[in-house]
Structure 1
Amino acid sequence: MKRIVTLLLAAGLVFGAFGGAQAADIKAKGQWDFNFEFLNNTDFQSKEHGGQGGDTFAGKQRLRTQIDIVASESLSGTVYFEMGETIWGKEDGALGADGKSVKVKRSYIDWIVPNTDLKVRMGIQGLALPGFVAGSPVLDDDVAAVTMSYAFNDMVAATAFWARPYDTGGDQDSFDTNTGKNAFDEMDLFGLIVPVTLDGMKIQPWAMYSSIGKDVNGGAANYNQTSWGQAAGGMLPVGKVSFDKDTTAWWGGLSYELSMFDPIRFKMDGIYGSVQADDEAWERSGWLVIGSLDYKMSMMTPGLFAWYGSGDDDDANNGSERMPYIMPDFGPTSFGFDKPGAPIATDSLLSVSGAGTWGVGLQLADISFIENLKHTLRVAYIKGTNDAEMAKTGGADLVLKNGYGTAKAYNGLYLTDEDSAWEVNFDHTYNIYENLALIVEMGYIKLDVDEDTWGNNEYDDAMKLGFNLKYSF
Structure 2
Amino acid sequence: MKRIVTLMLAAMLVLGSVAGASAADIKVKGQWDFAFQWLDNTDFQDGEQDGNSEDDFGAVQRLRTQIDIIASENLRGVVFFEMGDTIWGRAGSTDQGGALGADGRTVEVKRSYIDWTVPNTDLMVRMGIQGLALPGAVAGSPILDDDVAALTLSYKFSDMVSLTGFWARPYDTSSGNSGNVQNDEIDLFGAILPVSLDGVKITPWAMFGSIGEDVDLTTGNSASRTQAAYGLTSIGYGLAEETTAWWGGASFEVSMFSPLSVKLDAMYGAVDGDDEEADRSGWLVIGSVDYKMDMMTPGIFAWYASGDDDDDTNGSERMPYISPDFGPTSFGFDKVGAPIATDSLVSVSGTGMWGVGVQLANISFVENLKHTVRVVYMEGTNDEDMASVASIRPDAVNGLYLTDKDSAIEVNFDHFYKIYENLDLIVEMGYIKLDADEDTWGSDDFSDAWKLGFNLKYSF
TM-score range, shorter chain: over 0.9
Aligned to 1:149: 154
SS in 2 for 1:161: strand
Aligned to 1:427: 414
Shift of 1:230: 1.1
Pairing of 1:241-252 with structure 2 (within 5 A) = 242-252=238-248
Residues 62 and 85 of structure 1 are in contact (CA less than 8 Å); yes or no, is this contact kept in structure 2? Answer: yes
1:158 has 2:135 as partner? no
Residues 379 and 424 of structure 1 are in contact (CA less than 8 Å); yes or no, is this contact kept in structure 2? Answer: yes
2:255 equivalent among 234, 259, 262: 259
Q: Which amino acid aligns with 2:199?
A: G
Shift of 1:226: 3.8
**Hey, what's the Cα distance between the residues in 2 that align with 1:348 and 1:102?**
25
Shift of 1:183: 1.2
1:439 has 2:444 as partner? no
Aligned to 2:106: 101
Shift of the 21–105 alpha-carbon distance from structure 1 to 2, 3 Å rule, reads: farther
Question: Unaligned regions of 5+ residues in structure 2, if any?
Answer: 92-96
1:131 has 2:136 as partner? yes
* 1:321-380 deviation per Cα after TM superposition (whole angstroms, max 9, x unaligned): 001111000000010111246410011100000000100000000000000000000000
Decide which moves more: 335-344 or 418-427.
335-344
Q: Which amino acid aligns with 2:422?
A: N
Shift of 1:455: 1.0
1:463 has 2:459 as partner? no
Shift of 1:258: 0.4
Aligned to 2:224: 227
Shift of the 341–442 alpha-carbon distance from structure 1 to 2, 3 Å rule, reads: closer
1:236 equivalent among 233, 250, 255: 233
Pairing of 1:34-183 with structure 2 (within 5 A) = 34-49=34-49, 54=54, 56-91=56-91, 92-169=97-174, 171-172=175-176, 174-175=177-178, 177-178=179-180, 183=182
Shift of the 318–203 alpha-carbon distance from structure 1 to 2, 3 Å rule, reads: same
* 1:410-469 deviation per Cα after TM superposition (whole angstroms, max 9, x unaligned): 100000000000000011010000000000000000110000111124111100000000
Residues 358 and 382 of structure 1 are in contact (CA less than 8 Å); yes or no, is this contact kept in structure 2? Answer: yes
Q: Which amino acid aligns with 1:57?
A: F
Shift of 1:245: 2.0
Aligned to 2:360: 364
Q: Which amino acid aligns with 1:104?
A: V
Question: Unaligned regions of 5+ residues in structure 1, if any?
Answer: none
CA RMSD of aligned residues (A): 2.2
Decide which moves more: 86-95 or 51-60.
51-60
Residues 43 and 53 of structure 1 are in contact (CA less than 8 Å); yes or no, is this contact kept in structure 2? Answer: no
Residues 45 and 52 of structure 1 are in contact (CA less than 8 Å); yes or no, is this contact kept in structure 2? Answer: no
SS in 2 for 1:232: helix
Identity of aligned residues (%): 69
2:277 equivalent among 278, 281, 288: 281
Aligned to 1:292: 288
Shift of 1:219: 4.3
* 1:63-96 deviation per Cα after TM superposition (whole angstroms, max 9, x unaligned): 0000001111111110000000000000211111
1:415 has 2:398 as partner? no
SS in 1 for 2:313: helix
Shift of the 134–439 alpha-carbon distance from structure 1 to 2, 3 Å rule, reads: same
Shift of the 162–81 alpha-carbon distance from structure 1 to 2, 3 Å rule, reads: same
Q: Which amino acid aligns with 2:139?
A: A
Shift of 1:47: 2.1
**Hey, what's the Cα distance between the residues in 1 that align with 2:242 and 2:338?**
37
Residues 40 and 53 of structure 1 are in contact (CA less than 8 Å); yes or no, is this contact kept in structure 2? Answer: no
**Hey, what's the Cα distance between the residues in 2 that align with 1:17 and 1:80?**
30
Shift of the 323–168 alpha-carbon distance from structure 1 to 2, 3 Å rule, reads: same
Q: Which amino acid aligns with 2:90?
A: K
**Hey, what's the Cα distance between the residues in 1 that align with 2:184 and 2:12?**
52
SS in 2 for 1:412: coil
**Hey, what's the Cα distance between the residues in 1 that align with 2:201 and 2:52?**
45
Residues 289 and 301 of structure 2 are in contact (CA less than 8 Å); yes or no, is this contact kept in structure 1? Answer: yes
SS in 2 for 1:93: coil
1:309 has 2:329 as partner? no
**Hey, what's the Cα distance between the residues in 2 that align with 1:457 and 1:367?**
37
What is the aligned length?
A: 449
1:399 has 2:388 as partner? no
Q: Which amino acid aligns with 2:225?
A: W
Q: Which amino acid aligns with 2:339?
A: P
**Hey, what's the Cα distance between the residues in 2 that align with 1:53 and 1:24?**
56
SS in 1 for 2:235: coil
* 1:204-227 deviation per Cα after TM superposition (whole angstroms, max 9, x unaligned): 00000001101012344xx45543
**Hey, what's the Cα distance between the residues in 2 that align with 1:22 and 1:118?**
23
1:270 has 2:260 as partner? no
Aligned to 1:205: 204
* 1:273-298 deviation per Cα after TM superposition (whole angstroms, max 9, x unaligned): 00001111010000000000000000
TM-score normalised by structure 1 residue count: 0.91
Shift of the 310–219 alpha-carbon distance from structure 1 to 2, 3 Å rule, reads: closer
TM-score normalised by structure 2 residue count: 0.93
Shift of the 377–323 alpha-carbon distance from structure 1 to 2, 3 Å rule, reads: same
* 1:15-74 deviation per Cα after TM superposition (whole angstroms, max 9, x unaligned): 959945972110000010000000110011112446999451000000000000111111
The ranges of structure 1 where at least 4 consecutive aligned residues each deviate by more than 3 angstroms after the TM superposition are 15-22, 48-55, 223-226
SS in 2 for 1:228: helix
